[in-house]
Chain A
Amino acid sequence: MLAAKIEGGATQYYHQDQLSVRVLTDSNGVKIGEQQATAAAYNLGKGGVSGNPDTIDRGSTWGNYGSDIMLLMHCFK
């Protein structure tokens, strides 16, 4: 559920139960990297994921944790 929108439309916060996950959107409000950010958060902890779509995986294992899982998802389509 969309809970808040930050001025400028670049970042939104979604809330689910007690957790809130920052969702990354482009300037048109299109969600990008939501799943990648979720996957990266599994590796880094939610507090380790940056709000910048270009650096979602920064600091994660091998530097590509989230995007690696995104690639893996294609195997199950």
Chain B
Amino acid sequence: MESRSNERLVMIVAFFTAALVFPAMGRPARCDQKPSQVSLKSFLQQYLKDPRAPDDKTTRYSSALVDLNGNETDEVIVYLTGDYWCGSGGCLILILEPDGATYKVNTRILAARPPIRVLATKSHGWHDIAVMVGGGGILHAYEARLSFDGESYPISPANPPAQRLTVKVPGKIVIPVTTMSEGKPLYP
């Protein structure tokens, strides 16, 4: 009787030791995904839940980690494509701020086109962002500068306060030109 309970105790100890040493046991190994990307994907799946478009399988996303406000913590620029998020004017961009273990949406930028550039210039301490504007009746596509106003970026690159750029402003491409089939699928 005593030996059986000792055996059980050993098994319990072994189980918890294994759980501590091999925390990923039981989960399929995904070497291609970094933890932050997994959580970004989960966040986007939750945030974009819409009764009008249950898990639109065409949704794809591209993301870039950029410290926009110089606080040594990266914000996330997300470019979403798919049937639900794109129109003739372009697709949806989300500017996400880290918020503890998750994110909060700072700005939804509508009808934008890549490439998305982070400019060297700043407004209210945040880097300006440049996107392409085209389609929807605009004959000649152009680049627009989106400047932070102290709270968020403009929601529409085609309308003020977004500014049409007439000269090339120095900056870095963070999300290049992509097609609808590029980017990571948001849903399995």
Contacts and interface: CB of A to CB of B under 8 A. Distances in A.
Contacts of B158: 60-63
20 contacts: A13-B51, A20-B51, A20-B52, A20-B53, A21-B52, A22-B52, A44-B89, A45-B83, A45-B84, A46-B83, A47-B52, A48-B92, A58-B110, A58-B155, A59-B111, A60-B111, A60-B136, A61-B138, A61-B158, A63-B158
Interface size class of A (residues with CB under 8 A): 10 to 19
A68 B34 CA distance: 45
Contacts of A43: 87-89, 111, 135-136
Interface size class of B (residues with CB under 8 A): 20 to 34
Nearest to A64: B159
Of the listed residues A22, A46, A48, A63, the one surrounded by the most CB atoms of chain B closer than 10 A to its CB is A48
Contacts, number: 78
A32 B133 CA distance: 29
A48 B88 contact: no
B52 A58 contact: no
B155 A61 contact: no
A42 B53 contact: no
Given A61-B136, A61-B138, A46 B53 contact: yes
Contacts of B137: 61-62, 65
A48 B53 contact: no
B103 interface: no
A22 B84 CA distance: 13
Interface string A11-49: 001000000111000000000000000000111111110
Contacts of B62: none
